[in-house]
Amino acid sequence: MKRMVKSALALMLCAVMLLSLPAVAADKTGTKTFYDQLDGYAQGIYNAFCRSDVQGWLRTGEKFTLTFDGPFSDAQAAANAIAQAETWALAAFELDYPDFFWLRGSDVNVSGNSDKLTMTVTTNFWNNWANGSRSVFDDEAAVTAAVRRIAGEARAQGGTYEQLLYIHDWLTLNNQYNLAATESKDKESNRVPYTPVSALTGEEDPVCEGYAQAYKLLCDELDIPCLYVIGYAWTGSAWGLHTWNQVLLEGQWYAVDATYDDPTGGASGKVSGLERHDYFLAGAQTVAGGYYFSDTHSPTGEKISGIPFTYPDLASEAYGGGYTEPEDPYWGDEPEYPDDPYWGDEPEWPDEPEYPEEPDYGSLFRRQDIPEAGTAVESILTVTIDDEKVTLPAYALLDEKGNPTNYVRLRDLAALLNGTEAEFDVLWSKATGISIEPWCSYDHPNGTEGNVPFSGDQPYTVYLEDTLVDGMPLSLTAFQISWEGGSHTYYQLRDLGRAMSFNVGWTRERGLFIEPDEFYTDED
């Protein structure tokens, strides 16, 4: 498989040398999308990851060191900056090099003094390769062989468009989506469906990561600029984590989502008959599944949590035209009118064309009509999270029959879900109000989590401002309790699950439960 080995930058970096770092790194097809978003330290470390000797250590998991020459005016600050830069560099490297699919982040230690700092890097592997059940070298060889064979077949099809179409169709016709992997509660023990091994060798069926990483590797082999896109997508009922691709064709970027073009729909078998091209070379305003592509696919670029990268803007329309706005409805030949100006019936004009409706995701969260003010009743919820029972302070509103509906504070819930697949951060600013950042760790507690500063029933007022969830304003049902000059906002737990795609339910046997790794459903 082609691998562009970058210049052997010795990483003898200092404050002056950072100003003149050679910006030579790029991914294997010549783009610098992620490299250009790195700072000086991170660009130097990325260049080191592209060296053949370092890539050898990435395959074996051996520790390796990189040195940085001073003088440093503040050695500790420089050490911290270098450690943070390594995380950014590795995230960019993994986006550019999905053939290093066994990598699972790294551990870094920086030591030294004002004259020289040494960074020791220990890369981590996913369980399949960490426990020795699979061989990095055997799996890499199998992927490389498959990529070369399939890319060779694609070259025989013609130009760039034909090659992109061939590898798209090869992936959708030779795979079926691995529902069992996504529904498994243990996603750590078997990562093969999340790697190109699955999509290219047929050993296991892939999930979206397998499709998208395989598509990029094939584009890399064909010298077609391609990006591995990480973000979230609308499933038709909820937002979920998702991956797809962007390719550069004739100077413009287009989206390719092989996963969405290979739907299950109840059909079984790799060639299900449901394969399609709705998401092949799509533009931002391409209509697929009834919605504009840009409204159902939102990239975050977080290969490593908390390290976001941005992507180039997509072309507006699909490659080759695709969907276009209907022409003026008065198409066709001009009707021939009789000489007599008082002719019979008015000619029947064609019906107004139906334009695709803009998806209104906010409509999924219609704020419920609760009293503007009243009394909130103190409550303590026992919640099962990943089979562990925990307590969650809450306040309930009673209906006319005395039935309670419980509401919880964001910070209390964020603290309980931190470290799970449903983790989220809570932010507030005067300009935007309350913001929720899904899939980000909650790392700035204020000390009140799980222990609110008041007790007993409290007066409340309804909260009528929209809440930003990953930048999208949603009309969530909420109320506020004021205490010593501050406000504490309480939300319905099911609303939060629906907005952030984790499941909330209740059964007689389990009681109230949260399933962080399951999509939200209205079923208990």
What domains does the chain contain, in order, with CATH numbers? 17-125 (no CATH), 137-299 (3.10.620), 373-515 (no CATH)
pLDDT of residue 367: 80
Residue 499's SS3 state is helix
Residue type, 84: Q
Tokens of 466: 């929209």
β-pair type (373-385, 388-398): antiparallel
**pLDDT score of 348:** 64
Q: For the chain, which residues score pLDDT lower than 70?
A: 1-30, 321-365, 523-524
Residue type, 501: S
Task: Tell which phi-psi region holds residue 504, choosing left (phi > 0), alpha (psi between -120 and 50) or beta.
Answer: beta
pLDDT reported for residue 329: 41
- 521 burial class (0-12, 13-18, 19+ CB within 10 angstroms)? middle
User: d(Cα 394, Cα 129) in Å, to the nearest integer?
Assistant: 43
pLDDT for res 3: 29
SS3 287: strand
Structural element, H or E, at residue 155: helix 136-155
Model pTM?
0.61
Contact (CB, 8 A) for 208 and 193: no
* pLDDT score of 360: 47
Rounded CA-CA distance 196/214 in Å is 5
